[in-house]
Amino acid sequence: MTESEADRTSTSGSTPPVTDPRGVRLALISTFAAFVVLGLPEGIIGTAWPSVRDEFSRAESGLAVLLAGFTVGYTVSSTASGHLTGRFGTAKVLRIAIAVSALGVTGLIAAPGFEAMVAAYVVMGLGNGTIDSVANAWTALTHGARAMGLLHAAFGVGATAGPLLSAGLISTGVSWRWPFAVLIGGQAIALSAMWSAGGGFDDAPRHPAVEARASSAVSPPRRLLPLMLAWFTVYVGVEVGLGQWAFTLLTEERDMADGLAGILVASFWGGLTAGRLGLGAVGHLLRAERLMHAAMLLAIAASGLLWLDPFGLGPAALPVAGLAFAPMFPLMMNRTPVYLGPDRASRAVGYQLAASSLGFVTTPLLIGLLADQHGVGVTPPVVFGAVIALMALWTAVFRTADLALNPAES
């Protein structure tokens, strides 16, 4: 995309005055805290599951039932989040969402049976889906790529800390319920931070690039949002699919020791988190579209290396893939109000996260079904094909938005 008026404004224009700058800063910090807490259960349940399974005498597939319950709640709430913020405001919806999530976690701790635990996971999904979509939309509307990168890095910190917390507590002999009790403490801290922000959420001015887009009379083509939804579905599917199946690929297909395979899989998530921290540090210096192009090309190279495995170097592609994936989701989320316009952004972000939950389920399932028939060696070609599809969708989004926003330059 050629440099648009919106981006020139974001670089050289001045930010509108802020009624309460301290409140806005506290609001941003509280979203970071909320995203650390949002990432914690991602890691807790995996390490707690054997204890949960044994207590309730469930099969291994019971974990999928729990995650499905969470996904149902998450999808419903993320889809409705834009409508809720339009009616009640960002601050109120976020505070209620954290309270709902905490209610779900309380249900987990008190669950007398597995069915009650599934119901609690649905409630937690309702809260977490709202937090995720509302915080993403608010950050995209009011801040730049740096803040969005740090927001998603905060999620990575929580997701990394979750299994360490859970495994550490359970190894001492306490119940699997204790890590979730710690999670409630984190939610209380995040909620307290949001109360301290006062009106910072609703007082925050739009980011200059978003404000410039708001002044444009150009309406985005109708096909742009469906293209973006498809992109989010494929992206989350390939990220989660690779992250979930890499260990099995390395140990069962490529005969790698469990310890080394675990380190390499951790390096994928480490690359993802480090890349997002890097985006938070220098994202304001880089053109979003150029960075997306570079990230896509790097992801293609990494997934090709994993598939072809020349000289046994394929596993080294995992941290590179994590680094390549790192900026994609935050950047696409950050550009949503610029591409679609700020009035559509809150609802669009909710739809995007609902589409993401579809990818979360379908791609790992597809790999599993194919692996049942052809072996886990199908993982790299599926990942490579998904990355190529991701690049094609990004190209379509980029060109469609460019034609809409810069018709005279295109």
What is the CATH code of the structural domain delimited by 20-205?
1.20.1250.20
Contacts within 8 Å (CB) and 24+ apart, 281-286: 281/146, 281/149, 282/146, 283/144, 283/145, 283/146, 283/148, 283/149, 283/327, 284/144, 284/145, 284/146, 286/145
Q: What is the DSSP string of 141-163?
A: HHS-HHHHHHHHHHHHHHHHHHH
Percent residues over pLDDT 90 in the chain: 48
**pLDDT (0 to 100) of residue 15:** 47
Return d(Cα 83, Cα 71) in angstroms, integer.
20
Split at pLDDT 50, 70, 90, the class of 301 is very high
Say yes or no to pLDDT of 27 above 60.
Answer: yes
Q: Is the pLDDT of residue 12 over 70?
A: no
Q: 218-405: what fold?
A: Growth Hormone; Chain: A; (1.20.1250)
Lowest mean pLDDT of 199-203, 231-235, 329-333, 335-339, name the range: 199-203
Long-range contacts of 309-314, Cβ-Cβ distance < 8 Å, separation of 24 or more: 309/254, 309/380, 314/254, 314/380
Give the closest residue to 207 by CA, choosing from 406, 13, 1, 409: 13
The ranges of the chain annotated as CATH 1.20.1250.20 are: 20-205, 218-405
Give 214's contacts (C-beta < 8 A, 6+ positions apart).
Answer: 206, 341, 342, 343
The 10s digit of each residue's pLDDT in 69-101 is 998 999 999 999 988 998 999 999 999 999 999
* Residue 50 and residue 104 in contact, taking contact as beta carbons nearer than 8 Å: no
- 214 falls in which pLDDT band (50, 70, 90)? low
User: How long, in residues, is the chain?
Assistant: 410
Q: Report the alpha-carbon distance of residue 184 to residue 333 in Å, rounded.
A: 28
Nearest to 242, CA basis, from 66, 360, 349: 360
How does the average pLDDT of the chain come out, rounded? 86
Kindly tell me the sign of the dihedral angle through the C-alpha atoms of 202, 196, 145, 102. Answer: negative
Which residue shows structure tokens 């994202």? Answer: 283
First to last CA, the chain: 8
Per-residue model confidence (pLDDT) at position 13: 40
pLDDT over 90 at 120, yes or no: yes
Q: What percent of the chain has pLDDT over 70?
A: 91
CA dist 402 and 410 (Å) reads 7
**Residue 410: per-residue pLDDT:** 37
Which of the residue ranges 118-122, 160-164, 170-174 would you say has the lowest mean pLDDT?
160-164
Identify the band that residue 216 occupies on the pLDDT scale cut at 50, 70 and 90: low
Return the pLDDT at 4. 39
